[in-house]
Chains A and B, each alone.
Chain A
Amino acid sequence: DVKVTQSSRYLVKRTGEKVFLECVQDMDHENMFWYRQDPGLGLRLIYFSYDVKMKEKGDIPEGYSVSREKKERFSLILESASTNQTSMYLCASSAWRYEQFFGPGTRLTVL
């Protein structure tokens, strides 16, 4: 079975802190994605990557950056956390042009 793991299930940070969310997949997938999920808005794509060291902006990249130094790992970085970044963050991975497999999510609260 494909396994996508995220470093934390729950995270509480203070405004202005730098936040790292880590995602690891074990199926050698080329593509990896970061979404945020908010009530009534569904899933919105923040960034995605289709290869090591490659990244592409999604629909809402402002305030975020990403890093993909190894194929299995995709990190989401909040350079200076703000309260409007309080959300559920979901990581996903996929093989080329197939369905995405999701991690359990990280619920981030910024105080």
Chain B
Amino acid sequence: AQSVTQLDSQVPVFEEAPVELRCNYSSSVSVYLFWYVQYPNQGLQLLLKYLSGSTLVKGINGFEAEFNKSQTSFHLRKPSVHISDTAEYFCAVSESVAGANNLFFGTGTRLTVIP
């Protein structure tokens, strides 16, 4: 089974500063990669996904992520954060093999944007 590591459990950042949330996964097999965001008392919402093709993926709300196969990483970035980006962010990985697409989740990174 996959193991997904989100290296930072909490990331405080000032408004309009850049941010990077780190994600590493364990397997070297072909994978699908996802970032989800969870606002307080809500379910998870998809930010972006990598299935194939370009390793730089753009998502909603100005976020992007880069798939690095050699480093088994999928870090999330935003050049300038807003107060409204305060939320919890989850990285998830699915192996691109036959069968139901079970997702393996990291433990989450809580992003706090400071005014």
Q: Which residues of A contact B (CB under 8 A)?
A: 4, 9, 30-31, 33, 40-43, 45, 48, 50, 56, 58, 90, 92, 94, 96-105, 107
Contacts and interface: CB of A to CB of B under 8 A. Distances in A.
B100 A90 contact: no
Nearest to B106: A42
A102 B107 contact: no
A65 B94 CA distance: 24
Contacts of B96: 97
A99 B43 contact: no
Contact of A98 (B9, B42, B45, B101): B101
A101 B9 CA distance: 24
A4 B43 contact: yes
Nearest to A59: B1
A43 B4 CA distance: 11
20 contacts: A4-B43, A9-B41, A31-B100, A33-B102, A40-B9, A41-B107, A42-B105, A42-B108, A48-B102, A50-B100, A90-B43, A97-B96, A97-B100, A97-B101, A99-B46, A100-B103, A101-B46, A105-B41, A105-B43, A107-B41
Contacts of B46: 99, 101
B42 A42 contact: no
B43 A104 contact: yes
B44 interface: yes
B101 A42 contact: no
A72 to B, nearest CB: 17
Contact of A42 (B32, B34, B49, B90): B90
B60 to A, nearest CB: 13
A90 B101 contact: no
A43 B43 contact: no
A43 B42 contact: no
A107 B43 CA distance: 11
B42 A104 contact: yes
Contacts of B49: 99
